[in-house]
Amino acid sequence: MHPEKNNSSAFEPKIIAFVCTWCTYAGADLAGTSRMQYPSNVRVLKFPCTGRIDPVFILKAFQQGADGVLVSGCHPGDCHYIAGNFHARRRFAAFRKLLEFVGVDLQRLQFSWVSAAEGGKWVDVVTDLTETVRALGPMTEFKELALEEQWSGALTTPELKEAYLQI
Amino acid sequence: MSRIGVFVCHCGENISRTVDVERVAAHAATLPGVACATEYKYMCSDPGQTLLKKAISEQRLTHVVVAACSPRMHERTFRKAVEGAGLNPYLCEMANIREHCSWVHEDREEATAKACDIVGMMVERTKKNRVLPAITVPVTKRSLVIGGGIAGIQAALDIADAGHEVVLVEREPSIGGHMAQLSETFPTLDCSQCIMTPKMVDVANHPKITLYTYSEIELVEGYIGNFQVTVRKRARSVNERTCTGCGVCMTKCPQKKIPNKFDQNIGMRTAIYVPFPQAVPNTPVIDRENCTKFKTGKCGVCQKVCGPGAVDFEQQDTLIVEAVGAIVVATGFDLYSISEKPKGSPIKGYGEFGHGKIPDVIDGMTFERLASASGPTGGKIVRPSDGREPKQIVFIQCIGSRAREKGISYCSKVCCMYTAKHTMLYHHKVHDGQAYVFFMDARTPGKSYDEFWRRSIEEEEAVYIRGMVSRLYQKGDKIVVMGSDIAVGVQVEIEADMVVLATAVQPQQGADLLAQKLGISYDKYNFYSEAHAKLRPVECATAGIFLAGACQGPKDIPETVSQASAAAAKVMTLFSKDRLEREPIVARVREAGCVGCFACKKVCAYGAVEEKEIRDRQGNLLRVVASVNPGVCAGCGTCQATCPSKCVELDGYTDEQIVAMIEAL
Amino acid sequence: MNNTIDISHYAAIADSIRAEAARILEQGVVTAVVAYTTGRRAGSVQPVIITAAAEAERLTFTAASVNNLAVYLTKAKKDIPRSGRIGIVVKGCDLKALVGLMGESQLQRDQLYLIGIPCAGVLASTVRPAEALIAATLAPKCRECDAHLPEGCDYVPAVSLPSAPTLEPSYAAEIARLEALTPAERWAYWKEQFAKCIKCYACRQVCPFCFCEQCLCDRNKPQMVDTTPRPAGNTAWHIVRAMHLAGRCAGCAECERVCPMDIPLNLLNRKMAKELKELFDYEAGFAVHEKGPLNSFMEKDDQSFIK
């Protein structure tokens, strides 16, 4: 399927999935019991509800070297906790706009609703994200940032220039 | 320093076939904080659990990670085992290397690497696990049963007979459900109403059962042991307490031509009616849409003739709040209507069969009403169009069922058997008639079922044709059925007088909306999902809610009754204790850091967050902070994600645990 | 074209503030007034809290009255129950912050006596406080101000607001410029900006909404955000900060003003405000919202980004 996979130097994306236990985790379980196949790149973190998923975790995942992040929970109306997914939906609608604005490619951040009955959808979502990220290549931004020690020193504003000249 | 024990399960070969379990164990042994790592063929087995317990005491383990199947499968098992060895159960976690790894990846290298990662992640998480003391909540020993068909009736009677109060809610004016509509039942051909109506009467007379008919569930709040359910009791327009059920109102009602849903709309009823003579309760309902009094303001005959003065046009819907500890959902099924596509249904229509246009093409339930001695024809099988006895009758199976291209892939399970029954009923009543059945496969597992099906062919002379029908059309007063006999490989054309379609069994309309009120999951067809397909088939994943009957999937009567009794047994088990231990996965507020912005309170769907005043010794108010009521908290953690300073924390899913997992990757 | 902003009414405002502050202190309406006073450098202005009517004569209001005084209330709020009602001088943008704080249960309206300023604008920077207020020296937030006249105050000086020249909104233009870039270009831009950060947390200190007792970013169990002033930790800090202010920040732009490294912090805040307006039709204004946009929801909220 992926001839490049056999090449040990080929890029294998690291995908971190934050999922709720009631719907998507169960959907992923169903994919397992149905013996569906999907790329092994994904690592699943279980949460009680998408409402528990803090945007900081997504940031943290990227900083830890994730090439793609998936957040998945119950369809609207199906939340085991009445409305956790509705709160999450708003939170992530805003957060992705922020990440986009600071220059994160949103193709690396996927949100989905996968119910306990949608093993097939889980497979599709994970496969799509893995392949999208594989095509994009490694997420280097945060990794490079982590290696940098300090500011470049470029005087980007008139005030800074002026302050510098006065030293 | 933690001393973690890692136990990697082979799951027979389910895991070890694709995951090198020895390597996973060896990898785990190298992780800081891991005191021992081992693998075993079946960790969940008795020797496996013994091994685990032994290791805990011998190795003085502080935490345990079991790398095996999904926690949804065996987390309880292992937490119990860990508890048995003297550790707090919440110090044990599972690493899912089966459903999320060995079963979904073929490449052994990749799967093993992933399993190592998953174990590593769970080891890091587990290090941060804290002892969580058990939380107990009181149990209200009353049960709600939703749906008054055979499933709901059986469950209600079983629970009530055990001495617990039951609230039974039925949407229709009478209990009885679909079973009350049936003529005879397979494989014994005993009369459905003869076995059903005594049970209905038992429900009505049971001192422990409160029956709400013509009522629906409005709102469900609370949690296992402590639900508050609001029931909307629709206005019946007849006072149930004073009505004697004499039925004079119905005989005098001038509106007599309203299709009766109970008779599949082939029989007629009045505007004030009971759906069938044996209805329980035997109190009529005024169908306000069709009642002249409600439409025009004139008439009121029923009120004038009612001796006890029970007719009340002013009656309003009432909302009743019931406190219950357990809920049995038994909302049953409906037949797929091929004449009209239900709103929002993903299922494509069956226009080619002409149902709804050709009057003598009917569905199985309509045939039941025709064959029923208490039905609109008094048990005479006649054509709806002209009342003639059909001499050639064609039954077509799998209409909707097992047709992926039409949107339903499942087998409706009961149609093979009821069609065989129909051919018999037909043959008993129309001695010179001929029944044909188009079928794909005959599915007859069940006690005496195959014998029954064979009898319809061998003794009752039904002709079974293996193949599907491509088209039906009206020709004169006949219906031409065009199909193929794939066993012989020829085209078949039958000029039939009547066609009966075995339409698919589907969940009731609105099943999804009820599920959303209850907070239970359902599949893409709206059948309710059980907690585990094999080991927890009557429980919902939502604690305290149980399933009975066809709302969970197509079922015949004995299966439905078994499941209803099983659900009742689960309820009784729940009620056997005065207090119930619940998962201590609840949020806690770190009051020292809380600034009282109450964002947590705003997002809490359960109202579990309260405002707490902190006062000094003199009683002066210092500040107001958030406080979580652990009895009400459901443990979703939305509050924590919302709290800007993370001063509310969800036990079991703390930031420390989650960050440890992310950092392990 | 004359770019001068007419602030001739500020002298009258200052007189009114002095008179009103003296009156409310004198009559015991309030126990303290948070306002502006003259600083040591020529033309400079600094915040002050006065508790006696006699001190009222020290108060002033000029184009250098840039500070959002609301921040002093978030710090002082614990004392209010004991000290009693407090008077505060607010510009429109400051009032929006106070209103936000009321929505978040940090302050109650009846604890405050609001002296509203019909504000024509303030300086961008206090480096040269005596500078004339012209388009070039005007704070960028004032270019797009929609709240010259604060609403619902207890007292507003009876002066008429001079007409102001229409200026192009600079934040909107800059947001549009950045949005048009590729993600990589935007990343490069912000990377450079965030890299400058020295983690002095002046932005946090000056922000009325950063009222947490314990900041998430200071936590070390677990460490959610790297606390060192290196590019990685800086980026995380600024992202978390912007996210925590989303749907709350009313645009006083104090963070940007106090930043010693000139990081365009309000740009992030304005971007989030713009998004929340588009997504949820939410805007910080003069009305107290019971719930903010990120702790409420509607069933029909946009989910086009969700698979």
Residue of B524, B636, B642 for testing the chain A interface, max A β-carbons within 10 Å? B636
Inside any domain, residue C154: no
The whole domain housing C61 covers 10-143
Tell me the backbone φ, ψ of residue B617, rounded to 5 degrees: -65, -25
In Å, how far is C114's CA from the nearest CA of chain A? Answer: 33
The answer, for C298 touching chain B at a CB cutoff of 8 Å, is: no
Q: How confident is the model at residue B351 (pLDDT cuts 50, 70, 90)?
A: low
Q: Is residue B79 scored above 90 in pLDDT? A: yes
- CA-CA distances (angstroms) from residue C279 to A38, B232, C97, C302? 34, 36, 21, 7
Whether residue B290 contacts residue B258, with contact meaning beta carbons closer than 8 Å, is answered with yes
Q: Is residue A150 scored above 80 in pLDDT? A: no
Q: Is residue B419 scored above 70 in pLDDT? A: yes
Contact: C81, B659; criterion CB under 8 Å: no
Contact: C183, A103; criterion CB under 8 Å: yes
Summarize pLDDT for B212-261 with one digit per residue, the tens. 999 999 999 888 899 999 999 999 999 999 999 999 999 999 999 999 99
Q: How large is the average pLDDT for residues B139-143?
A: 96
Contact: A94, C294; criterion CB under 8 Å: yes
The answer, for A91 touching chain C at a CB cutoff of 8 Å, is: yes
In chain A the first and final C-alpha atoms are separated, in Å, by 62
pLDDT value of residue B542: 82
Summarize pLDDT for B53-72 with one digit per residue, the tens. 999 999 999 999 999 999 99
In Å, how far is A143's CA from the nearest CA of chain C? Answer: 9
The answer, for C3 touching chain B at a CB cutoff of 8 Å, is: no
Contact: C307, A89; criterion CB under 8 Å: no
Summarize pLDDT for B474-509 with one digit per residue, the tens. 999 999 999 999 999 999 999 999 999 999 999 998
Give residue A75's Cα distance to chain centre: 18
Share of chain B above pLDDT 90, in %: 83
Domains and CATH numbers, chain B: 4-127 (3.40.50), 142-234+317-332+508-575 (3.50.50.60), 248-305 (no CATH), 334-506 (3.50.50.60), 587-664 (3.30.70.20)
Query: If you ran DSSP here, which 8-state letter would residue B403 be given?
Result: B
Summarize pLDDT for C227-257 with one digit per residue, the tens. 888 889 999 999 999 999 999 998 999 999 9
Contact: A16, B665; criterion CB under 8 Å: yes
| Selected residue with higher pLDDT from B417 and B342 | B417
| Selected residue with higher pLDDT from A154 and B462 | B462
- Measured between beta carbons, the chain C residues lying within 8 angstroms of A96 are 305
Tell me the backbone φ, ψ of residue B111, rounded to 5 degrees: -65, -40
Summarize pLDDT for B83-112 with one digit per residue, the tens. 999 999 999 999 999 999 999 999 999 999
In 3D space, the residue among A134, A62, A67 whose CA is nearest the CA of residue A102 turns out to be A62
Q: How far apart are CA B535 and CA B374, in angstroms?
A: 41
In 3D space, the residue among C246, C250, B644 whose CA is nearest the CA of residue A96 turns out to be C246
Q: How large is the average pLDDT for residues B503-522?
A: 90
State which residue of chain B sits closest to C220, comparing Cα positions: B656
Contact: B642, C221; criterion CB under 8 Å: no
Residue that the structure tokens 């509607």 belong to = C298
Contact: A80, B541; criterion CB under 8 Å: yes
Residues of B within an 8 Å Cβ radius of C: 592-599, 602-603, 620-624, 642, 644-647, 655-656, 659-660
Whether residue B242 contacts residue B203, with contact meaning beta carbons closer than 8 Å, is answered with no
Say whether both C88 and C193 belong to one domain. no
Instruction: Return the C-alpha torsion angle A114, A118, A123, A126, nearest 10.
Output: 0
- CA-CA distances (angstroms) from residue B23 to B10, B106, B111? 12, 17, 11
Contact: B523, A117; criterion CB under 8 Å: yes
Q: How large is the average pLDDT for residues B151-176?
A: 97
Q: Which two tokens stand for residue B172?
A: 């229709």
How high does pLDDT run on average in chain B?
A: 93
Whether residue C264 contacts residue C193, with contact meaning beta carbons closer than 8 Å, is answered with yes
Q: How far apart are CA B332 and CA B555, in angstroms?
A: 9
In 3D space, the residue among B523, B366, B551, B559 whose CA is nearest the CA of residue B449 turns out to be B559
Q: Is residue A2 scored above 50 in pLDDT? A: no
pLDDT value of residue B505: 93
How high does pLDDT run on average in chain A?
A: 90
Instruction: Give the strand order in the sheet containing B142-146.
Output: B209-212, B165-169, B142-146, B326-329, B545-547
Contacts of B47 (CB under 8 A, 6+ apart): B40
In 3D space, the residue among B536, B537, B540 whose CA is nearest the CA of residue B520 turns out to be B540
Q: How large is the average pLDDT for residues C161-170?
A: 86
Q: How large is the average pLDDT for residues B518-545?
A: 87
Q: How far apart are CA A150 and CA B593, in angstroms?
A: 33
How many domains is chain C built from? 2
Q: Is residue B630 scored above 50 in pLDDT? A: yes
Q: How far apart are CA B184 and CA B372, in angstroms?
A: 7
Inside any domain, residue C151: no
Contact: A156, C193; criterion CB under 8 Å: yes
Say whether both C130 and C70 belong to one domain. yes
In 3D space, the residue among B656, B652, B650, B654 whose CA is nearest the CA of residue B637 turns out to be B650
Burial class (CB in 10 A: 0-12, 13-18, 19+), C39: middle
Contact: A56, C261; criterion CB under 8 Å: no
Contact: B602, C296; criterion CB under 8 Å: yes
What's the complex ipTM? 0.92
Query: If you ran DSSP here, which 8-state letter would residue B101 be given?
Result: I
Q: Which amino acid is at C152?
A: G
State which residue of chain C sits closest to B657, comparing Cα positions: C222
Residue that the structure tokens 């208490």 belong to = B374
Say whether both C25 and C82 belong to one domain. yes
Q: How large is the average pLDDT for residues A102-124?
A: 95
Q: How confident is the model at residue B337 (pLDDT cuts 50, 70, 90)?
A: confident
Torsion sign (Cα): B239, B240, B241, B246? positive
- Measured between beta carbons, the chain C residues lying within 8 angstroms of B603 are 295-296
Q: How confident is the model at residue B338 (pLDDT cuts 50, 70, 90)?
A: low
- CA-CA distances (angstroms) from residue C198 to B12, C217, C230? 57, 15, 8
Contact: B541, A22; criterion CB under 8 Å: yes
Q: How confident is the model at residue A9 (pLDDT cuts 50, 70, 90)?
A: low
Contact: C303, A146; criterion CB under 8 Å: no
In Å, how far is C82's CA from the nearest CA of chain B? Answer: 9
Contact: C305, A111; criterion CB under 8 Å: yes
In Å, how far is B345's CA from the nearest CA of chain A? Answer: 17
Classify each residue of B40-59 as buried b or exposed e, where b means 16 or more C-beta atoms within 10 Å of its C-beta: beebbeeebbebbbebbeee
Residue of A16, A25, A82, A113 for testing the chain B interface, max B β-carbons within 10 Å? A82
Contact: C104, B598; criterion CB under 8 Å: yes
Whether residue C71 contacts residue C254, with contact meaning beta carbons closer than 8 Å, is answered with yes
Q: How far apart are CA C8 and CA B428, in angstroms?
A: 106
Do strands B469-475 and B478-485 pair parallel, antiparallel, or not at all (unpaired)? antiparallel
Residue of C108, C214, C224, C299 for testing the chain B interface, max B β-carbons within 10 Å? C214
From the list C189, C231, C243, which residue is nearest A145 (CB)?
C231
**∠ Cα B21 B27 B33 (to 5°):** 125
Whether residue A72 contacts residue A113, with contact meaning beta carbons closer than 8 Å, is answered with yes
Count of alpha carbons within 13 Å of A122, Cβ hemisphere only?
Answer: 35
Q: How far apart are CA B439 and CA A106, in angstroms?
A: 52
The answer, for C225 touching chain A at a CB cutoff of 8 Å, is: yes
Burial class (CB in 10 A: 0-12, 13-18, 19+), B398: buried
Summarize pLDDT for A131-147 with one digit per residue, the tens. 999 999 999 999 888 88
Q: How large is the average pLDDT for residues B335-349?
A: 66
Strands (E), B400-531: 434-439, 463-466, 469-475, 478-485, 490-496, 498-503, 505-507
Question: Which residues of A, range 16-45, sit inside 8 Å of B by Cβ?
Answer: 16, 21-23, 25-26, 28-29, 31-33, 35-38, 40, 43-45
Q: How far apart are CA B233 and CA B215, in angstroms?
A: 4
Compute the residue count for chain B. Answer: 665
Inside any domain, residue C299: no
Inside any domain, residue C65: yes
Whether residue B279 contacts residue B173, with contact meaning beta carbons closer than 8 Å, is answered with yes
- Contacting chains of B (3 CB pairs or more, <8 Å) are A, C
Contact: C105, B623; criterion CB under 8 Å: no
Q: How far apart are CA B277 and CA C302, in angstroms?
A: 52
pLDDT value of residue B289: 93
Classify each residue of B79-105 as buried b or exposed e, where b means 16 or more C-beta atoms within 10 Å of its C-beta: bebbbebebbbbbbbbbbbbbbbbbbb
C86, β-bridge pairs: C32, C112
Q: Which two tokens stand for residue B250?
A: 């119905």
Say whether both C136 and C175 belong to one domain. no
pLDDT value of residue C1: 44
pLDDT value of residue C2: 56
The answer, for C292 touching chain B at a CB cutoff of 8 Å, is: yes
* Percent helix, percent strand, percent coil in chain B, to nearest 5: 30, 25, 45
Q: Is residue C199 scored above 60 in pLDDT? A: yes
Say whether both C103 and C175 belong to one domain. no
Q: Is residue A4 scored above 80 in pLDDT? A: no
Contact: B662, A45; criterion CB under 8 Å: yes
How high does pLDDT run on average in chain C?
A: 91
In 3D space, the residue among B269, B270, B267, B278 whose CA is nearest the CA of residue B301 turns out to be B270
State which residue of chain C sits closest to B596, comparing Cα positions: C105
Q: How far apart are CA B499 and CA B191, in angstroms?
A: 24
In 3D space, the residue among A60, C219, A13 whose CA is nearest the CA of residue B662 turns out to be A60
Torsion sign (Cα): B281, B283, B287, B288? negative
From the list C105, C213, C244, which residue is nearest B598 (CB)?
C105
pLDDT value of residue B369: 95
pTM: 0.78
Q: How far apart are CA A89 and CA A76, in angstroms?
A: 9
- Measured between beta carbons, the chain C residues lying within 8 angstroms of A90 are 279-280, 293-294, 296-297, 301
Residue of B103, B638, B648, B661 for testing the chain A interface, max A β-carbons within 10 Å? B638
Inside any domain, residue C1: no
Contact: A64, B663; criterion CB under 8 Å: yes
Count of alpha carbons within 13 Å of B398, Cβ hemisphere only?
Answer: 22
- Measured between beta carbons, the chain B residues lying within 8 angstroms of C288 are none
Q: How far apart are CA C248 and CA B315, in angstroms?
A: 49
Q: Is residue C275 scored above 90 in pLDDT? A: yes
Helix (H/G/I), strand (E/B), else coil: A111: strand
pLDDT value of residue A1: 38
C37, β-bridge pairs: C46, C59
Inside any domain, residue C148: no
Q: Is residue A3 scored above 50 in pLDDT? A: no
Q: How confident is the model at residue B623 (pLDDT cuts 50, 70, 90)?
A: confident
In 3D space, the residue among B418, B435, B436 whose CA is nearest the CA of residue B187 turns out to be B418
Q: How confident is the model at residue A7 (pLDDT cuts 50, 70, 90)?
A: very low
Q: Which CATH number fits domain A12-166: 3.40.50, 1.10.287, 1.10.260, 1.10.3470?
A: 3.40.50
Q: Is residue A76 scored above 60 in pLDDT? A: yes
Contact: A90, C195; criterion CB under 8 Å: no
Say whether both C59 and C132 belong to one domain. yes
Question: Which residues of A, range 119-148, sit inside 8 Å of B by Cβ?
Answer: 123
**∠ Cα A69 A73 A75 (to 5°):** 135
Q: Is residue B1 scored above 80 in pLDDT? A: no
Query: If you ran DSSP here, which 8-state letter would residue A74 be given?
Result: P
Q: How large is the average pLDDT for residues C169-185?
A: 94
State which residue of chain B sits closest to C244, comparing Cα positions: B644
Q: Which helix (H) or strand (E) holds B126?
A: helix B108-127
Say whether both C124 and C192 belong to one domain. no
Contact: C295, B603; criterion CB under 8 Å: yes
Q: Which amino acid is at B624?
A: V
